[in-house]
Amino acid sequence: MVFGRFFNWFLGLFGVSRQIRLGLYGATNAGKTTLANKISLDWTGEKVGKTSVVPHETRFVQKKEKVEIKTDGRKVLINLLDMPGIATKINYKSFLRYGMSKNKAKKRAKEATDGVIEAIKWLSNVDTVLAVMDSTKDPLTQVNITLLGNLESRKIPVIIVANKIDKKRSKPKRIKEAFPQYPVVEISALKGTNINDLYHAIAKHSRRAK
Amino acid sequence: MKKRVRKLKMDFVSSTTLDEKTEKKRIKFILDKVKDGSILVTDAVLNPKEEMSLIKETMRKVDDGFPGIEICSLKKQTRGFEFLVENLSDRRDKVRDFFGKLTGRKSSKKGLRTGITLIGPAKVIKSIKKNPNSFSVLAEA
């Protein structure tokens, strides 16, 4: 670990930065793709994926490689990995209310279950994680607790992103109180509020996995 | 007119029953019960990796009649000697994994943590409200 940090520091002296696989994890509809799009648009001018109010819009891992974030005089080169939302249940009937046909809803549910499995498998292939949480909702869900416990046991650095602070019902303080041991950045990925604070946090906390 | 009675099945399983099983068998045991419609309550907490495996296996079993699970656990806050024992248990698992890889005989039997866990079918459990030291469950048969 010490050697790894020294190596990164040494490369940094020559303006070379190693790529960090930054995974965006969280429950469905927390705003992961909106955030991935914001980061990617800011530094590459291109979007990562499509967003939707219908849950499980992201059903496959979406990647954006070589995104260079420059902040505080530092450069961080990341591979952005937008993960499907993690869930313990997926009911095809919940998609019917969005006007989908039964067959289309069933297909979406099947793809969504595969997406959750893929996201979990990717946990062993990420260096740093942005745990995206919807600040209008109760953060003490089993999905959030399991995800953070898992990352902790794998010694993967985590930054909690308290998203959707532009909404009236937003209570980011609840997230800070629920998980006091993690750095929490309050943002609105949609409006771009406090996005620079997130870039500072990424530069400060992200590192390659051991 | 006779009112139809809806029944809710709950299984209380001791941590010893789960502890005797390997990780794979433990997850299968839990999912078989839950898929059968039972709400399972146990005096143990799965470790985070096992909980993720449970979610993964649940997703593999999702179908039209089984949309998934609801799970909630409360881990006992360990201090002093208990904390040391739990940490040693985690390390023991790592040592087992290491020697398992070396010998090719991978043992997946891992220590559970003290606490309480409730796992039930998502069709039955309508909501779980969790606080740091308690949780309440709303279920409907």
Strand partners, B128: B137
ipTM at complex level: 0.85
Task: Measure CA A33 to chain center.
Answer: 8
The pair phi, psi for residue A175, each rounded to 5°, is: -70, -45
Question: Is A142 in contact with B73 (Cβ distance < 8 A)?
Answer: yes
Taking only the tens place, the pLDDT of each residue in A77-110 is: 999 999 999 999 999 999 999 999 999 999 999 9
Closest-CA distance, B2 to chain A, in angstroms, reads 31
Residue B106 is predicted with a pLDDT of 47
E strand residue ranges, chain B: 10-13, 39-45, 69-75, 113-121, 125-131, 134-139
CB-based contact, A113 to chain B, within 8 Å: yes
Task: Count how many pairs of residues, chain A against chain B, have C-beta atoms within 8 Å.
Answer: 74
B7 CA: distance to closest CA in chain A (Å) = 22
Distance in Å, alpha carbon of A150 to nearest chain B alpha carbon: 5
Candidate CATH numbers 2.40.50.140, 3.40.50.300, 3.40.309.10, 3.40.50.2300; the one for domain A19-205: 3.40.50.300
pTM above 0.90, yes or no: no
A92 and B59 in contact by Cβ < 8 A? Answer: no
| Neighboring chain B residues of A91 at a CB cutoff of 8 Å | 67-68, 122
When CB atoms are compared, the residue of B47, B52, B69 closest to A120 is B52
Q: Which residues of A touch B55 (CB under 8 A)?
A: 86, 88, 116, 120, 143, 146
Domains of chain A, by residue range, sit at 19-205
* Binned average pLDDT, 10 residues per bin, chain B of 141 residues: 80 94 94 96 93 96 95 81 61 62 53 88 94 91 81
**What's the CA gap between A104 and B74, in Å, rounded?**
38
Q: Contact at 8 Å (CB) between A197 and A10?
A: no
For residue B91, list chain A residues with Cβ-Cβ distance below 8 A: none
The whole-number pLDDT of residue B108 equals 45
